[in-house]
Amino acid sequence: MVISTLARRVGLPVVLACAAALSGCYKLRGHYGGPQSFEPVPRAVSVADVAVPAGYRVEAVAQGLTYPTGVAFDAQGRPYVLEAGYSYGEVWTAPRLLRLEAGGTLKEVYVGGKNGPWTGLVFHDGAFFISEGGTLEGGRILRVTPEGQMSVLVDKLPSFGDHHTNGPAIGTDGYLYFGQGSATNAGVVGPDNADFGWLTRNAKFHDVPCEDITLTGENYTSDNPLTEAKDDKVTTGAYSAFGTPTTKGQVIKGQLPCTGAVMRVPLRGGPPELVASGLRNPFGLAFAPDGRLFTTENAYDSRGSRSPFGAGDVLWEVKPGGWYGFPDFSAGQALNLPDFGGPGHGPAFVLANHKPIPVKPAAILGVHSSSNGFDFSRSAAFGHVGEAFIAQFGDQAPETGRVYGPVGYKVVRANVQTGVIEDFVVNRGRVNGPASEIGKAGLERPVAARFDPSGQALYVVDFGQMPMTEQGPAPKKQTGVLWRITKE
């Protein structure tokens, strides 16, 4: 499958026209249904329901995980799995670092507190580095030894909103690189942030620019979920607390740490340094074999007071000092174009001036695919050297925007030179979707992909079942799986 620019720029307007003209030739995908219960459910797992290219084989090496998000390997090459400790749906559990033992058993190495989600980990120089999302206490980067000793590398990161502290990745320059997601969908706090749970906890929280910005004064009036008064309305501007309007020419001072950015910190410790900004949610970070840093960016949802339409997820090469467009651009294209407005025009700019976007995207991925953790192939024994293998968590329709069919729920590989994307690990069958929805026993929600130290095995972290209900996401405990793909 080639990059999805055509689907966003041509296919979706055509679909809209078709729906309007023929009244029902496409059906918008809505709720999965069912109650918002987080309790474990039986999950059947069958490699026969998972398709991989000819010459490869897949196996499930660990099951029964609760909200797993990452995998890494110690100096002996042993796999360790991360359990998040938090999931959308406002459910907290104990975040854990687990070692996979022979025979598929899991040994607890370290248990964290109530400050998830833990979103990723990497091993370097005798220790694991964990990105702690920090929904309650702010984001942190933790250092944990295989013996379970923990220390904090950096803390007080602005991670109370929709998106969290992500990554991490270790550079050859002695720095740890990490992503910090935006507080909001598109720069403006709205009622949707109450639906995500955090606005009622942190009513003053909002996006934080990395550098000084000047606003256009574009404001948005919405319902006020913080009061019980009927028909209570508030007006909110960009980069401001809920209910705080802005004015044309208003300057918001930048600061570090900030939201919507890739930052770095010395491995010996110290204050965070800015690498690149203007990224809505830089979730996955990985260095290519030639040393270049890349990130996956979760693009805009169709929700909230400022609601772009049809923005595809992006794989970017991260250029030091670069600005990547949030909150006024998507994949280098201006949001005020008709493409991003559905049947109307796209959202007006909230920034009065823009820095140039340094590069074109390495690839544009599916709209609402939630393209997350990834790694590069480095071994000819596995194949596709230099290509990025990206786990796609899948859409969260209708909360993040309605879709015409399930998007994501697989692992794709992206050629960063050409932008061409091809499926690599998918569920078998005529239709796409999570296994539990399509009557299969394969993939549910892949969230991370990582090669082992030899480069000959690709491990895929499957978050588990998370149906969407009338009350929101309903992630099921003990349904996560760790898959391994090797070449025969």
| Whole-number pLDDT of residue 37 | 84
Q: How many structural domains comprise the chain?
A: 1
CB-CB contact of 448 with 411 (8 Å): no
Is residue 236 one of the residues assigned to a domain? Answer: yes
* CATH code: domain of residue 53: 2.120.10.30
Question: Of the candidates 397, 415, 411, 413, which has an alpha carbon nearest to the alpha carbon of residue 469?
Answer: 397
| Whole-number pLDDT of residue 29 | 53
| Whole-number pLDDT of residue 386 | 98
Beta-carbon contacts of 227 under 8 Å, excluding residues fewer than 6 positions away, are: none
Q: Could you give the 3-state DSSP secondary structure of residue 155? A: strand
Is residue 272 one of the residues assigned to a domain? Answer: yes
Q: How far apart are the first and last CA of the chain?
A: 24
Is residue 165 one of the residues assigned to a domain? Answer: yes
Q: Could you give the 3-state DSSP secondary structure of residue 444? A: coil
Is residue 64 one of the residues assigned to a domain? Answer: yes
> Residue 464 carries which side chain, given as an amino acid letter?
G
What pTM was estimated for this model as a whole?
A: 0.93
| Whole-number pLDDT of residue 3 | 32
Helix or strand holding residue 318 (H, E): none
Average pLDDT, 10 consecutive residues per value, the chain (488 residues): 31 32 38 74 95 98 98 97 95 97 93 96 98 97 97 97 97 97 98 95 97 98 94 97 98 98 96 98 98 98 95 97 98 94 86 93 97 98 98 92 89 98 96 94 98 98 94 94 97
Whole-angstrom distance, CA of residue 422 vs CA of residue 311: 19
| Whole-number pLDDT of residue 13 | 31
Is residue 182 one of the residues assigned to a domain? Answer: yes
| Whole-number pLDDT of residue 4 | 33
Is residue 303 one of the residues assigned to a domain? Answer: yes
By residue range, what is the domain housing residue 227?
25-444+451-457+481-487
Whole-angstrom distance, CA of residue 248 vs CA of residue 352: 8
| Whole-number pLDDT of residue 39 | 87
| Whole-number pLDDT of residue 17 | 32
Q: Evaluate the CA torsion angle 267, 292, 128, 76 in order and state its sign.
A: negative
Is residue 14 one of the residues assigned to a domain? Answer: no
- Residue 415: how many CB atoms within 10 A of its CB? 16
Is residue 244 one of the residues assigned to a domain? Answer: yes
| Whole-number pLDDT of residue 30 | 52
